[in-house]
Amino acid sequence: MTLRETILSALHARLSALSATALRGEVLPERVPADGLLILRDGDPGEPEVTLSPLAYHYQHRAEIEAVVQGANRDGAFDALCASVGEAIAIDRTLGGLCDWIEADAPQPVDLPVEGAASYKAGVILLTLIYTTSDPLA
């Protein structure tokens, strides 16, 4: 498994420990669980900075977490869900030494109407995963 995949898998495992349902790379399901929904998107590793001696590729990989809640108290539930993601990341911003640092940006929440049901409150939490590898494909 590549370092990139190892980091994303560890991040997904960290999110799976939360009370919300955590998926990876899935489409938004028809129903949002009562505790909320998190969908981790792999994102874009971008162009690395390269050092030559020793050869190393330094990435600032941009991944995304879609946070979605539904129900009567959407504002409070969305805030609590985003705060729980922040706490899960802050526990160990290196994921046990797999990456150099993880930084999250605040989401821009939107209300999404759903025909015949309570609307969703959703937002994308952008993550920057900073890591170094000796091969862009490893």
In this prediction, residue 27 has a pLDDT band, given cuts at 50, 70 and 90, of very high
In this prediction, residue 93 has a pLDDT band, given cuts at 50, 70 and 90, of very high
When the pLDDT of each residue in the chain is averaged and rounded to a whole number, the result is 95
Q: What is the pLDDT at residue 55?
A: 96
Handedness of CA 128, 9, 82, 112 (dihedral sign): positive
For residue 137, give the nearest of 54, 53, 45, 67 by alpha carbon.
45
Q: What are the residue boundaries of the structural domains of the chain, listed by start?
A: 3-133
Q: What is the pLDDT at residue 71?
A: 86
pLDDT at residue 118 is higher than 90: no
pLDDT digits (tens, 9 = 90+) for 43-84: 999 999 999 989 999 999 999 999 999 988 999 999 999 999
pLDDT digits (tens, 9 = 90+) for 120-136: 999 999 999 999 999 99
pLDDT at residue 88 is higher than 90: yes
Q: CA-to-CA distance for 75 and 19, rounded, in angstroms?
A: 17
Q: What is the mean pLDDT of residues 35-45?
A: 97
What CATH number should be reported for the domain whose range is 3-133? 3.30.2000.10
In this prediction, residue 116 has a pLDDT band, given cuts at 50, 70 and 90, of confident
